[in-house]
A and B are shown apart, each in its own frame.
Chain A
Amino acid sequence: MTGETELQKLSSVPSSKPLRILAADDHDILRRGLKQLLTARSGWEICAEAKTGREAVALAEQHKPDIVVMDVSMPDLNGLEAARRIHKVLPKTGIIMLTLHFSDQLVKDIVDSGARAYVMKSDADRDLVNAVEALANNRTFFTARAADMLLNDFTERNSPVTPQPPSPSRLTSREREIVQLLAEGKSSKEVAVALGISVKTAETHRANIMRKLQLHSVSELVRYAIKNQIIEA
Chain B
Amino acid sequence: MTRVLIVDDHAFIRRGIQAILNSSPEFDFCGEADNGIAAIRLSADLQPDIIVMDVSMPGLNGLEATRVIREANPNIKVLLLTLHESGEILRSAFQVGAQGYLMKSETDHELLRALRMLVAEQVYISPKADAHDAASVLREIPASQ
Say yes or no: B13 contacts A29, CB within 8 Å.
yes
Q: A37, B104: Cβ atoms under 8 Å?
A: no
Whether, in the assembled complex, B10 has its beta carbon less than 8 Å from a beta carbon of chain A, the answer is yes
Chain A residues lying within 8 Å of B107, measured Cβ to Cβ, are 28
Contacts of B16 in A (CB 8 A): 28-36
B44 within 8 A of A: no
B12 near A26 with CB under 8 A, answer no
The reply to whether B11 and A37 contact each other, CB–CB distance below 8 Å, is: yes
Q: Does B17 contact A (CB under 8 A)?
A: yes
The answer for the CA separation of A211 and B19 in the assembled complex, in Å, is 47
A33 touches B106 (CB 8 A): no
Which residues of B61-108 are within 8 A (CB) of A?
Answer: 83, 104-108
**Residues of B contacting A128 in the complex (Cβ-Cβ under 8 angstroms):** 12
Interface size of B by CB at 8 A reads 18
Picked from B15, B83, B108, B111, the residue with its CB within 8 Å of the CB of A36 is B15
Looking at the assembled complex, report how far the CB atom of A104 sits from the nearest CB atom of chain B, in whole angstroms.
22
B contact residues around A148 at 8 Å (CB) = none
User: Do A36 and B10 touch across chains, with their CB atoms under 8 A apart?
Assistant: no
Bound CA–CA A92/B134 (angstroms): 48
Interfacial chain B residues near A125, Cβ < 8 Å: 10-12
Within 8 A of B (CB), among A10-48: 26-37
In the complex, B126 has a CB within 8 A of chain A: no
Which residues of chain B have C-beta atoms less than 8 A from A30's C-beta? Answer: 12-13, 16, 104
Restricting to B2-41, which residues have a CB under 8 Å from any CB of A? Answer: 10-20
Q: A33 touching B12 by the CB < 8 A rule?
A: yes
Q: Is A122 an interface residue (CB 8 A)?
A: yes
Q: How far is the CB of A160 from chain B (nearest CB, A)?
A: 43
On whether A28 and B12 interact (CB within 8 A), knowing A36-B18, A36-B19, the answer reads no
Query: At the interface, yes or no: A171 with Cβ under 8 Å from chain B?
Result: no
B83: chain A residues at CB < 8 Å are: 100
Decide if B10 touches A32 in the complex (CB within 8 Å): no
Find the B residue at minimum CB distance from A51: B107
Cα A29 to Cα B23 with chains together (Å): 13
Query: Could you tell me the distance in whole angstroms from the C-beta of B128 to the nearest C-beta in chain A?
Result: 11
| Residue A149 interfacial (CB < 8 Å) | no
Any chain B CB within 8 A of the CB of A90? no
Distance to closest chain A CB from B15 (angstroms): 4
Task: Answer whether residue A124 sits at the interface, using C-beta atoms and an 8 A cutoff.
Answer: yes
A30 and B10 alpha carbons, distance in the complex (Å): 10
**Among B11, B15, B20, B108: residue with most chain A CB under 10 A:** B15
In the bound complex, what is the Cα–Cα distance between A34 and B104 (angstroms)?
A: 14
**Which residues of A approach B to under 8 Å, CB–CB?**
26-37, 100, 121-122, 124-125, 128
- Since A28-B16, A33-B19 are in contact, a sample of 19 more A-B pairs with Cβ atoms closer than 8 Å, ordered by chain A residue number, is A26-B105, A27-B105, A28-B107, A28-B111, A29-B13, A29-B16, A29-B17, A29-B111, A31-B16, A33-B12, A34-B16, A36-B18, A37-B11, A37-B12, A121-B10, A122-B10, A124-B12, A125-B10, A125-B12
